[in-house]
Amino acid sequence: MILEKINSSKDLKQLDIRECEILSQEIRELIITKVSKCGGHLGSNLGVVELTIALHYVFDTPNDKIVYDVSHQSMAHKMLTGRKDAFLESEKYKLVSGYTNTDESEYDLFKIGHTSTAISLACGLTKARDILGGTENVIAVIGDGSLSGGEAFEGLDYAGSDIAGNMIIVVNDNQNSIAENHGGLYQNLQILRDSDGKAECNYFKALGYEYRFVKNGNHVGELIEVFSNLKGIGHPVVVHVCTVKGKGYWYAEENAEITHFVKPFHISTGKEKNPFSGERYDRILRDFLAKKIKADKKVAVIMPAVANILAFSPELREELGNQFIDVAIAEEHGIAMAAGMAKAGMKPVFATKASFFQRTYDQISQEVCINNMPVTMIVINASVYAATDLTHIGIFDIAMMSNIPNLVYLAPTNRQEYLAMVDWSIEQNAYPVAIRAPRNGVFDAEEAVDRDYGNLNQYKVVRQGEGTAIIALGDFFQLGEELAEKIEQSCGYKPTLINPRYITGIDEELLSSLLSDHDLVVTLEDGILNGGFGEKITRFYGTTNMKVMNYGLKKEFLDRYNVEQIMKENHLDADIIINDIAMVSGGK
């Protein structure tokens, strides 16, 4: 096996082209094997095998610097830079992350997982080199899908005029943005592909770049030749490389969207090994929204390239016509457009992952909330139970969004409440509303849920008790139920259990009323405590005799964590909390 001899880009330089081709086959098979067992990003990694070999072959990494956009295509890079064992030996699979990771290797420059960042980061490396007097090559590898993101444009535009020295921007054109591409620039990429890069009207040239076209981006020899000619070039250049997403694995080539990110699958069929057969909130919401759309021309769903996270299939999207809107990777635009649609009388629903909402703080604040536009925002994966990768964790949204004025941020605790909140939000006209999609398993309401949430900040007392009041928000409501039951069993009194529902405000009347027969309030929230929900409750009681204990997550970046362990570490466990209460109550 050739790969076994490769520990650095230096080793790679000893190979001839034929050996590089064999190596690419070896790498490809290892990707397919590992991802079929562990899951992960499949199509993006398969598409760039030859590109990655060619870059390390030509350039003197790690002195020459490669920045991968999103870095969900860095498996070949990892195999070539000292981490092949994590692909060759299944017991070492977990030793490397699915993204570039500075803890793993000096070849990895940043911990990255969001799109559209590579050009700006590379600009920083380049700018520093030119000011401090270095000579290394700086290469940014960015997919066509990431180019629609505003940050990528800002970097591309800036470097097109204000970077004087070497900078090689590799546009990996695999004709996908998770789902299909949307945006005028993709028409231009098509024109460039059709003309072998010769069309006069060229997006990259318009931004000031020298431009190279590589028709067969899965041909390692062709790539090596092109990069060899660019090594050491004294100004920015865009290399437009056409690759095939999923290259070399028939199922991935034929199903680019669903094999963008996969769970463990059978290589022979491409089918998922353990398809989830139970109920899931993504499908529940999808079905609800599809029905709303079909019944009402005014309802539209806007998603930025992530239709998959709500299981909107290409067929269903087609069926929903112009009321399902994929804006590609362009979250800022998506939120702003939703504000415009609301202004014009529509009922827009914008949905993406919590981690990607981070790109839209200003649009939520300015376009939506200052203008009080009745946009519905569905915040997905906002939970300790959701994505565990460093760059995708969903425990910061409450701190980020819930302190924006005018916004009504709701936390449903079960299926019926979730859909009732979404329905209310879509049909009302008074507030910008965000809804935190539950992520802790599908629960059904034990009694009828409210249909109208317009009476803001009215918490719901689920069980009236005394002594201790548990205010259990959203995903942690079930933990609150468990805590209430255990207190009743072990402490000899029945505590009050409250479903607050509203993240963005406090029910002053209810909180005041608790003062008469409660001496402790416990808040539970599925997010960081800093800037979160519980602190507002504590502030309310600041000058009273009420004791308040806030439970939630510590303010920290977690990575590939074990949920159970993190919950315990943060005392998010009924028994631990009861123990804490006993310690606080002391001699009571």
As a whole number of angstroms, the distance between CA 80 and CA 500 comes to 52
Smallest gap from Cβ 367 to a copy of itself, in A, equals: 6
Q: How many CB atoms lie within 10 A of CB 22?
A: 15
Q: How many CB atoms lie within 10 A of CB 113?
A: 21
Q: What is the DSSP letter of 90?
A: G
> Is the CB of 15 or the CB of 300 nearer to a copy of itself?
300
Smallest gap from Cβ 137 to a copy of itself, in A, equals: 13
For residue 223, give the H/E element and its range.
Answer: helix 220-230
> Is the CB of 177 or the CB of 425 nearer to a copy of itself?
177
The window from 15-23, 257-265, 361-369, 380-388 that contacts a copy of itself (CB under 8 A) reads: 361-369
The window from 11-19, 153-161, 449-457, 492-500 that contacts a copy of itself (CB under 8 A) reads: 153-161
> Is the CB of 290 or the CB of 528 nearer to a copy of itself?
528
Q: How many CB atoms lie within 10 A of CB 586?
A: 6
User: Residues 165 to 204: which contact a copy of itself by CB under 8 A?
Assistant: 182-188, 200-203
Q: What is the DSSP letter of 376?
A: E
For residue 184, give the H/E element and its range.
Answer: helix 184-194
Q: How many CB atoms lie within 10 A of CB 29?
A: 15
Q: Which two tokens stand for residue 495?
A: 């505590």
| 62 contacts a copy of itself (rule: CB under 8 A) | no
| 161 contacts a copy of itself (rule: CB under 8 A) | yes
Vertex 255: Cα angle to 292 and 268 (nearest 5): 125
Q: Give the SS3 label for residue 425.
A: helix
| 325 contacts a copy of itself (rule: CB under 8 A) | yes
> Is the CB of 79 or the CB of 581 nearer to a copy of itself?
581
User: Residues 203 to 232: which contact a copy of itself by CB under 8 A?
Assistant: 203, 205-209
Of the candidate residues 40, 143, 145, 155, the single one contacting a copy of itself (CB under 8 A): 155
> Is the CB of 76 or the CB of 393 nearer to a copy of itself?
393
User: Residues 502 to 531: which contact a copy of itself by CB under 8 A?
Assistant: 528-531
User: Residues 64 to 83: which contact a copy of itself by CB under 8 A?
Assistant: 67
Kindly determine how many residues on this chain lie close enough to bind a copy of itself according to the rule CB under 8 A.
119
- E-strand stretches of 47-183: 65-68, 138-143, 167-173
> Is the CB of 132 or the CB of 448 nearer to a copy of itself?
132
User: Residues 453 to 482: which contact a copy of itself by CB under 8 A?
Assistant: none
Of the candidate residues 241, 301, 346, 420, the single one contacting a copy of itself (CB under 8 A): 346
Smallest gap from Cβ 543 to a copy of itself, in A, equals: 5
Of the candidate residues 536, 573, 574, 578, the single one contacting a copy of itself (CB under 8 A): 536
As a whole number of angstroms, the distance between CA 477 and CA 500 comes to 9
User: Residues 402 to 421: which contact a copy of itself by CB under 8 A?
Assistant: 402-406
Strands 460-463 and 496-499: antiparallel
| 327 contacts a copy of itself (rule: CB under 8 A) | yes
Please report where in the chains the tokens 């590939």 appear, as a residue: 560
The window from 16-24, 150-158, 172-180, 423-431 that contacts a copy of itself (CB under 8 A) reads: 150-158
As a whole number of angstroms, the distance between CA 396 and CA 401 comes to 9
Of the candidate residues 70, 328, 433, 510, the single one contacting a copy of itself (CB under 8 A): 328
Rg (CA), the chain: 26
| 429 contacts a copy of itself (rule: CB under 8 A) | no
The window from 27-35, 127-135, 431-439, 473-481 that contacts a copy of itself (CB under 8 A) reads: 127-135
Phi, psi (deg, nearest 5) at residue 113:
-155, -15
Of the candidate residues 9, 97, 243, 363, the single one contacting a copy of itself (CB under 8 A): 363
As a whole number of angstroms, the distance between CA 324 and CA 290 comes to 9
Smallest gap from Cβ 365 to a copy of itself, in A, equals: 6
> Is the CB of 21 or the CB of 559 nearer to a copy of itself?
559
| 549 contacts a copy of itself (rule: CB under 8 A) | yes
Q: Which two tokens stand for residue 435?
A: 């809804």
Of the candidate residues 234, 278, 344, 588, the single one contacting a copy of itself (CB under 8 A): 344
As a whole number of angstroms, the distance between CA 510 and CA 498 comes to 10
As a whole number of angstroms, the distance between CA 401 and CA 354 comes to 10
Sign of the Cα pseudo-torsion (366, 367, 373, 376, in order): negative
> Helices in 59-183 by DSSP H: which ranges?
75-80, 85-88, 118-132, 150-162
Among the listed residues 154, 148, 207, the one whose alpha carbon sits nearest the alpha carbon of residue 175: 148
| 97 contacts a copy of itself (rule: CB under 8 A) | no
| 297 contacts a copy of itself (rule: CB under 8 A) | yes
Of the candidate residues 555, 561, 566, 570, the single one contacting a copy of itself (CB under 8 A): 555
| 342 contacts a copy of itself (rule: CB under 8 A) | yes
Smallest gap from Cβ 420 to a copy of itself, in A, equals: 26
As a whole number of angstroms, the distance between CA 270 and CA 31 comes to 14
> Is the CB of 21 or the CB of 180 nearer to a copy of itself?
180
| 332 contacts a copy of itself (rule: CB under 8 A) | yes
Smallest gap from Cβ 181 to a copy of itself, in A, equals: 9
Site string for a copy of itself, 6-25 (x = CB under 8 A): --------------------
As a whole number of angstroms, the distance between CA 372 and CA 385 comes to 31
> How many residues are given for the chain?
588
Instruction: Say if residues 70 and 115 touch (Cβ distance below 8 Å).
Output: yes
User: Residues 385 to 404: which contact a copy of itself by CB under 8 A?
Assistant: 390-391, 396, 399-400, 402-404
The window from 41-49, 258-266, 280-288, 292-300 that contacts a copy of itself (CB under 8 A) reads: 292-300
Three-state SS annotation for 291-313: HHHHHCCCEEEEECCCHHHHCCC
As a whole number of angstroms, the distance between CA 296 and CA 288 comes to 12
Smallest gap from Cβ 200 to a copy of itself, in A, equals: 4
